[in-house]
């Protein structure tokens, strides 16, 4: 492929008036918050969410944490969608909501209502933390969550702005809350003694940043053992005291490279940060060297770890070769790592699109992929992902729901990145063979997809869309003429404005 891209559409999405919202937020005193977002989550070429509401990322991080209450402040329709999605993903937790109307918003009553809700919720017997999330409208209206008390009866209060016009993806919204929590925990730890994490290991630890498949931290722990290192609590964390353990590491593994605010807190705590992850033979080799070096591990221990695991990974890859051309697209932030693994297994990967931005922590993966001919597109839009797929005609497309739909309509086998790829181990020997079977199963189905496309040819398009019609629907008599006259009258009226 030539790497050319289709310019993404602007102004689309549920917050189509983005510039207006930004202007309003600035006028309402949110400039500092917005400037931080623009710096942490840089835009372009694509910067509009084309998936779920970004705030879902922050909501999910809060809901997955023990003894943490999460309260949303936003329009009812946004809150409906967010709570629906959170329960769809098995939250099993109440989502708090402070409703508003134009009057309570304009008069500043909404802030008072939020404050009251926080006081009512902050019971130390129930919670360690109460998180309040400002969605688009309250952020644009300047609802000042930073004025909430920092602590009530020992319960920490964290207020964050997560508007769709400031945080491009739900992946990055996870970082907004994870970073805010790490900052709070870091300041607590700097001020005096704090609780030990529930499971404290005696070895120096590596903090992995990113939501990983549950087997992966265990596998990474095994890789680190010969270097006398262990995996510490992850970020995003599952319990407040884990944040102290995460901060108290020897080195940070920025496995998901877009956690800019979280990494900033780790750097402020004096921790070295290493990008990429232990994928395949070459990825694991480089990662073990970088982690070992950052943690001051002796060269012989680093070599011992490599000698123990690299031959095993090599053997698994050799036993599970992938012979296919694959495009990789997603919004999880692990797309580059997945592409590396596929390539090491023998796949041709001409295109990798990630909705996440470019950061220095994904440079090792980007450089590795580009050196092998892959086009890496950060902030990839759906249009770019689809164009790449049409261009390279892969045997298999990995991607988001709309991309998979498009692929299937073209007869290209496709797999959902979130449900199928992220639900498998990626690292070490366990990850090395995890993709071969599903790739083989899907690519074998190509001929079947072709038959389905020809079978359904024309169905669901134009006059055949919808159901209940046996014949081509007929326009009501005279309707075309009526609409023509209406259009003309409207055009005339609008051209007369201002004359």
- From 113, 190, 187, select the one nearest 151 (Cα to Cα): 187
Burial classification of residue 314, based on how many CB atoms lie within 10 Å of its CB (0-12 exposed, 13-18 middle, 19 or more buried): middle
Region from 48-56, 170-178, 283-291, 446-454 binding ligand SF4, contact rule CB under 6 A: 48-56
Q: Cβ 167 to ligand SF4, closest distance in Å? A: 9
Give the residue with the Cβ less far from ligand SF4, 48 or 362. Answer: 48
Within 414-478, residue ranges assigned H as helices are 428-432, 436-444, 446-455
Give the residue with the Cβ less far from ligand SF4, 81 or 217. Answer: 81
Q: Cβ 130 to ligand SF4, closest distance in Å? A: 20
Q: Cβ 164 to ligand SF4, closest distance in Å? A: 2
Instruction: Tell whether residue 337 is a contact of ligand SF4 (CB under 6 A).
Output: no
Q: Cβ 425 to ligand SF4, closest distance in Å? A: 32
Instruction: Tell whether residue 76 is a contact of ligand SF4 (CB under 6 A).
Output: no
Q: Cβ 147 to ligand SF4, closest distance in Å? A: 21
The answer for 348, left when phi > 0, alpha when psi is -120 to 50, beta otherwise, is beta
Buried residues in 393-425 as b, exposed as e (16+ CB within 10 A): ebbbbbbbeebbebbeebebbbbbbeeebbebb
Q: Which of 8, 57, 62, 74 binds ligand SF4 (CB under 6 A)?
A: 74
Region from 73-81, 97-105, 250-258, 268-276 binding ligand SF4, contact rule CB under 6 A: 73-81
Instruction: Tell whether residue 15 is a contact of ligand SF4 (CB under 6 A).
Output: yes
Q: Cβ 332 to ligand SF4, closest distance in Å? A: 19
- For residue 477, the number of C-alpha atoms closer than 13 Å in the C-beta half-sphere is 0
**Binding to ligand SF4 in span 149-188, by CB under 6 A:** 163-164
Q: Which residues pair with 133 in a beta bridge?
A: 72, 160
Region from 52-60, 299-307, 359-367, 438-446 binding ligand SF4, contact rule CB under 6 A: 52-60
- From 165, 174, 84, 172, select the one nearest 97 (Cα to Cα): 84
Give the residue with the Cβ less far from ligand SF4, 135 or 246. Answer: 135
* 8 Å CB contact between 131 and 69: yes
Q: Which of 34, 53, 220, 326 binds ligand SF4 (CB under 6 A)?
A: 53
- DSSP per position, 339-397: HHHHHHTT-EEEEEEESSPP-GGGHHHHHHHHHTTPEEETT--HHHHHHHHHHH--SEE
Q: Which of 3, 10, 12, 14 binds ligand SF4 (CB under 6 A)?
A: 14
- From 179, 169, 183, 161, select the one nearest 30 (Cα to Cα): 161
Q: Which of 45, 81, 346, 411 binds ligand SF4 (CB under 6 A)?
A: 81
Q: Which of 22, 34, 37, 55 binds ligand SF4 (CB under 6 A)?
A: 55
Q: Cβ 487 to ligand SF4, closest distance in Å? A: 31
Whether cis (ω within 30° of 0) applies to the bond prior to 45 is yes
Give the residue with the Cβ less far from ligand SF4, 15 or 156. Answer: 15
Q: Cβ 380 to ligand SF4, closest distance in Å? A: 19
Region from 72-80, 188-196, 342-350, 374-382 binding ligand SF4, contact rule CB under 6 A: 72-80
For the four alpha carbons of 186, 365, 283 and 298, in that order, the dihedral sign comes to negative
* 8 Å CB contact between 177 and 130: no
Rounded to whole angstroms, how far apart are CA atoms 55 and 64?
14
Residue 218 main-chain phi, psi, to 5 deg: -65, -45
How far separated are the first and last CA of the chain, in Å rounded?
A: 52
Count residues binding ligand SF4 (CB under 6 A). Answer: 13
Rounded to whole angstroms, how far apart are CA atoms 462 and 253?
51
Give the residue with the Cβ less far from ligand SF4, 41 or 213. Answer: 41
Instruction: Tell whether residue 356 is a contact of ligand SF4 (CB under 6 A).
Output: no
The footprint of ligand SF4 (CB under 6 A) covers 14-15, 53-55, 74-75, 78, 81, 135-136, 163-164
């Amino acid at each position: 492929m030539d790497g050319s891209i289709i310019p993404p559409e602007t102004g689309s999405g549920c917050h189509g008036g983005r510039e207006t919202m930004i202007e309003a937020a600035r006028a309402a005193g949110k400039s500092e918050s917005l400037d931080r977002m623009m710096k942490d989550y840089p835009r372009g070429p694509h910067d509009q969410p084309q998936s779920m509401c970004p705030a879902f990322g922050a909501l999910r991080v809060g809901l997955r944490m023990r003894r943490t209450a999460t309260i949303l402040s936003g329009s009812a329709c946004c809150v409906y969608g967010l709570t629906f999605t959170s329960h769809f993903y098995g939250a099993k937790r109440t989502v708090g909501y402070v409703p508003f109307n134009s009057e309570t918003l304009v008069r500043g009553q909404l802030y008072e209502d939020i404050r009251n809700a926080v006081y009512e919720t902050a019971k130390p017997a129930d919670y360690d933390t109460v998180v309040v999330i400002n969605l688009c409208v309250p952020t644009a209206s300047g609802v000042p969550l930073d004025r909430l008390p920092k602590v009530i009866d020992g319960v920490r209060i964290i207020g964050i702005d997560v508007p769709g016009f400031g945080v491009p993806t739900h992946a990055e919204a996870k970082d907004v809350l994870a970073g805010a929590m790490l900052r709070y925990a870091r300041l607590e730890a700097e001020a005096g003694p704090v609780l030990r994490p529930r499971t404290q290991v005696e070895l120096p630890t590596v903090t992995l940043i990113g939501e990983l498949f549950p087997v992966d931290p265990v596998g990474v722990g095994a890789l680190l053992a010969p270097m006398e290192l262990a995996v510490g609590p992850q970020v995003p964390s599952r319990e407040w005291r884990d944040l102290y353990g995460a901060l108290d590491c020897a080195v940070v593994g920025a496995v998901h490279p877009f956690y800019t605010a979280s990494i900033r807190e780790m750097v402020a705590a004096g921790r070295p940060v290493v990008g990429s992850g232990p994928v395949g033979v070459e990825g694991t080799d480089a990662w073990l060297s970088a982690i070992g070096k950052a943690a001051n591990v002796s060269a012989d221990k680093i070599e011992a770890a490599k000698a123990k695991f690299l031959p095993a990974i090599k053997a698994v890859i050799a036993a599970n070769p992938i012979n296919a051309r694959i495009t990789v697209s997603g919004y999880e932030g692990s797309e580059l790592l997945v592409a590396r693994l596929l390539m090491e297994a023998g796949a041709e990967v001409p295109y990798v699109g990630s909705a996440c931005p470019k950061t220095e922590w994904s440079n090792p993966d980007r450089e590795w992929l580009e050196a092998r001919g892959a086009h890496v597109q950060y902030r990839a839009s759906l249009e770019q992902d689809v164009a790449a797929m049409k261009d390279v005609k892969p045997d298999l497309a990995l991607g988001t729901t709309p991309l998979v739909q498009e692929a299937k309509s073209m007869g290209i086998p496709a797999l959902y990145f979130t449900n199928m790829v992220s639900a498998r181990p990626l690292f070490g020997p366990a990850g090395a063979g995890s993709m071969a079977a599903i790739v083989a199963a899907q690519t074998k189905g190509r001929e079947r997809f072709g038959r389905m496309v020809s079978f359904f040819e024309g169905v669901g398009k134009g006059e055949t869309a919808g159901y209940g019609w046996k014949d081509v629907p007929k326009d009501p008599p005279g309707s075309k003429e009526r609409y023509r006259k209406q259009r003309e009258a409207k055009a005339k009226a609008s051209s007369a404005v201002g004359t």
